[in-house]
Amino acid sequence: MSTNNCTYSPPSNVICLPRTNQLEALLTIIRDKDTNRGDFIFYSDRIIRLLVEEGCEFNGVSFKGKICGVSIMRAGEAMEHGLRDCCRSVRIGKILIQRDEETAQPKLYYAKLPPGIENRYVLLLDPMLATGGSAIKAIEVLISYGVKEDKILFLNLIAAPEGIQAVISKFSKLKIITAFIDQGLNEKKYIIPGLGDFGKSD
pLDDT tens per residue across span 30-42: 999 899 989 998 9
In a domain, 163, yes or no: yes
175 inside domain: yes
Phi, psi of 138 (to 5 degrees): -65, -40
Residue 25 lies in a domain: yes
Q: Between residues 69 and 4, which one has the greater pLDDT?
A: 69
pLDDT digits (tens, 9 = 90+) for 111-162: 999 999 999 999 999 999 999 999 999 999 999 999 999 999 999 999 999 9
Element (H, E) at 152: strand 152-159
Q: Cα-flanking dihedrals φ and ψ of residue 129, to 5°?
A: -110, 105
| Widest distance between CA atoms in the chain | 51
Position 202 scores a pLDDT of 37
Instruction: Say if 5 falls within a structural domain.
Output: no
Q: What is the pLDDT of residue 22?
A: 94
Please state, as a whole number, how many other Cβ atoms lie within 10 Å of the Cβ of residue 151. Answer: 19
The predicted pLDDT at position 64 comes to: 57
* Domain presence at residue 8: no
Cis status, amide bond into 74, omega within 30 of 0: yes
pLDDT tier at 8, thresholds 50, 70, 90: confident
Q: What is the CATH number of the domain that holds 66?
A: 3.40.50.2020
Residue 102 class from Cβ within 10 Å (0-12 exposed, 13-18 middle, 19+ buried)?
exposed
E-assigned strand segments in 42-138: 58-59, 62-63, 67-73, 91-99, 106-112, 121-125, 128-129
**Total count of domains within the chain:** 1
pLDDT score, position 9: 84
CB atoms closer than 10 angstroms to residue 77: 17
Task: Provide the domain limits for residue 142.
Answer: 14-201
In a domain, 2, yes or no: no
